[in-house]
Amino acid sequence: MAERELDKAYAPADVEGVVYERWMAADVFAPDGAGSRADGSKPPFVIIQPPPNVTGSLHLGHAQRTAVEDLMIRHARMQGRPTLYLPGLDHASIAAQFVLDGILAKEGESRATLGRDRYLERMREFVERTRGVILGQQRRVGASADWGRLRFTMDEGSARAVRHAFSRLYRDGLAYRTEALINWCPTCRTSLSDLEVIATPTTGSIWLIRYHLINGAKGSPKPGEWITVATTRPETILGDTGVAVHPDDERYSALIGQRVSIPFVERDVPIVADHVVDRAFGTGAVKVTPAHDATDLDIGRRHGLASIDVMNDDGTINDQGAAYAGLDRFAARTRILEDLAAAGDLEAERSHDLVLGRCQRSDDIVEPRLKTQSSFERRRSPTEPSP
């Protein structure tokens, strides 16, 4: 074969595009391409590419990953191994919605105004554009991927795999549906996995609030008799269905079994004794909101307390919240504290170190909420001993 003449100086821009086309034309990327020189008797070398999100263009991190993967692939290919570099794209569910919601907001639209079908139509248009950008960028970096095997996490093949996997795991008892406390992001309006919640230490407050005791029979408040509870989230008062103290706490032993009235909603709830209560926290008496706190849900289940969700998906107080319905959760907190103070029921506010869960995507403060969810049992699969 005739040798080519080389230009005096190296101009990458004149060479790279031409060389990439030469590779494509020779069909050398696929292990079974026309130009492959793979030796079928050698062990295959396979990298399934981590699919980049279709949310925008690639950054340097992607370029590095592609460079490292492509290095291993090209080395194996030159060793004569049947070499598969399978490229793909990820639909990036929550991340993509986050980006599209931002675009829609500028147009004065939203998920709510478009509705599910039109929203998904807009999403497909968006993805179609970014897809071309991302694939073009990978070619520029020189990825010798088998483009004929390109996959997308939302293509029909993936959809089938998802349906089949879920059905099998459900049948095998590894997937189940249950009412559970989930991490709710009011900005993204979805639940999040624990991994998507960033634990953020912060200094907040602990408020001491008086709940008035009521006469069992008559249901009317006993004047001048109360129990002081401690809370870091006063807005959840609206969903309280009990007050809990430690069974061995002598300060409260006479009160166990008595009933109190929840401020504003005037709900008549019991004082229960539960070992989980920390006597050193606040006053040693805590309010119980099973729909918005994991410990409270456990207490509620042990004592048969109702679970009342007081929040809408967007983080505003729902119609369980009496006069506070419609207010954002933090506006409601402020108003509730003002109203408690006016009534003389806010005993104290103390500084308190706590850990807030924030959404990895939106940074919004995550709210624990009770919802019915599909879940996978983890313990039984990956750590199972080798047979």
Partner 1 sequence: MTRAHQTRILPERFEKTWEHWLTGIRDWNVSRQLWWGHRIPAWYCPDGHITVSELQGGPAACGACGRPAADLRQDPDIFDTWFSSGLWPFSTLGWPDATSDLARYYPGSVMETGYDIIFFWVARMVMLGLALLDETPFETVYLSGLIRDPYGKKMSKTTGNVVDPLEIIDTTGADALRFALIHGATPGLDQKLSTARIENARNFANKLWNATRFVLGSRPASIRAGSPRRDPDAAHLGPAERWIRSRRAATIEAVDRAIGDFQFAEMTRALYQAIWSEFCDWGLELAKVRLADTSLPEAAREATWWTLVEALDAYLRLLHPVMPFVTEELWGALPRVDDDPDLLIVADWPAAEERDPAIEAELDAVIELVGGIRNARAEAGIPAASWLPVHVAEPMASGPTFQLLHPAIERLSRSRPLVIGTRSELATAAPGGLVVIAGDLEARIEIRQDAGVPERDKARLEKELAEAEGFLAAANARLANVEFVAKAPPAVVAGATARAAELIELVARLRARLEA
Q: How far is the CB of 196 from partner 1 (least distance, A)?
A: 8
Verify binding: residue 64, partner 1, rule CB under 8 A: yes
Contacts of 316 (CB under 8 A, 6+ apart): 326, 327, 328, 329
How far apart CA 183 and CA 196 sit, in angstroms, is 9
* Residue found under tokens 């805590």: 286
For residues 6 and 217, which CB has a smaller minimum distance to partner 1 in the complex? 6
Stretch that binds partner 1, among 94-102, 210-218, 237-245, 344-352 (CB under 8 A): 94-102
How far apart CA 198 and CA 382 sit, in angstroms, is 24
Q: β-strands 88-89, 151-152: how paired?
A: parallel
Q: How far is the CB of 288 from partner 1 (least distance, A)?
A: 22
- Residue 197's nearest CA partner among 370, 367, 378 is 367
How far, in Å, are 189, 311, 368 from residue 185 at the CA level?
5, 12, 9
Secondary structure (3-state) at 361: coil
Tokens read off for 52: 């980049």
Contact assessment for residue 51 and residue 153, using Cβ atoms and an 8 Å cutoff = yes
Sign of the torsion formed by the C-alpha atoms of 148, 150, 151 and 155: negative
Verify binding: residue 110, partner 1, rule CB under 8 A: no
> Under rule CB under 8 A, how many of the chain's residues touch partner 1?
123
Q: How far is the CB of 180 from partner 1 (least distance, A)?
A: 7
For residues 309 and 339, which CB has a smaller minimum distance to partner 1 in the complex? 309
- Residues 335-374 close enough to bind partner 1 by CB under 8 A: 371-374
The CB density around residue 298, as the number of other CB atoms within 10 Å, is 15
For residues 334 and 374, which CB has a smaller minimum distance to partner 1 in the complex? 374
Stretch that binds partner 1, among 188-196, 206-214, 218-226, 284-292 (CB under 8 A): 188-196
Secondary structure (3-state) at 122: helix
Contacts of 349 (CB under 8 A, 6+ apart): 205, 206, 207, 208, 337
Q: How far is the CB of 49 from partner 1 (least distance, A)?
A: 8
Given 134, 135, 145, 182, the residue binding partner 1 (CB under 8 A): 182
For residues 139 and 287, which CB has a smaller minimum distance to partner 1 in the complex? 139
Contact assessment for residue 295 and residue 244, using Cβ atoms and an 8 Å cutoff = no
Given 41, 42, 47, 107, the residue binding partner 1 (CB under 8 A): 47
For residues 309 and 349, which CB has a smaller minimum distance to partner 1 in the complex? 309
Verify binding: residue 276, partner 1, rule CB under 8 A: no
For residues 180 and 331, which CB has a smaller minimum distance to partner 1 in the complex? 180
Stretch that binds partner 1, among 79-87, 282-290, 299-307, 315-323 (CB under 8 A): 79-87
- Residues 247-266 close enough to bind partner 1 by CB under 8 A: none
Q: Most distant CA pair in the chain: distance in Å? A: 105
Contacts of 85 (CB under 8 A, 6+ apart): 29, 47, 49, 69, 70, 73, 143, 144, 145, 146
Sign of the torsion formed by the C-alpha atoms of 329, 330, 331 and 337: positive
For residues 189 and 279, which CB has a smaller minimum distance to partner 1 in the complex? 189
Tokens read off for 192: 């999040």
- Residues 154-173 close enough to bind partner 1 by CB under 8 A: 154, 157-172
For residues 40 and 219, which CB has a smaller minimum distance to partner 1 in the complex? 40
End-to-end CA distance of the chain: 56
Verify binding: residue 84, partner 1, rule CB under 8 A: yes
Verify binding: residue 304, partner 1, rule CB under 8 A: no
For residues 84 and 230, which CB has a smaller minimum distance to partner 1 in the complex? 84
Stretch that binds partner 1, among 214-222, 251-259, 343-351, 379-387 (CB under 8 A): 379-387
Which one-letter amino acid corresponds to residue 374? S
- Residues 308-327 close enough to bind partner 1 by CB under 8 A: 313
- Residues 117-156 close enough to bind partner 1 by CB under 8 A: 119-120, 123, 137, 140-142, 144, 149, 151, 153-154
For residues 191 and 258, which CB has a smaller minimum distance to partner 1 in the complex? 191
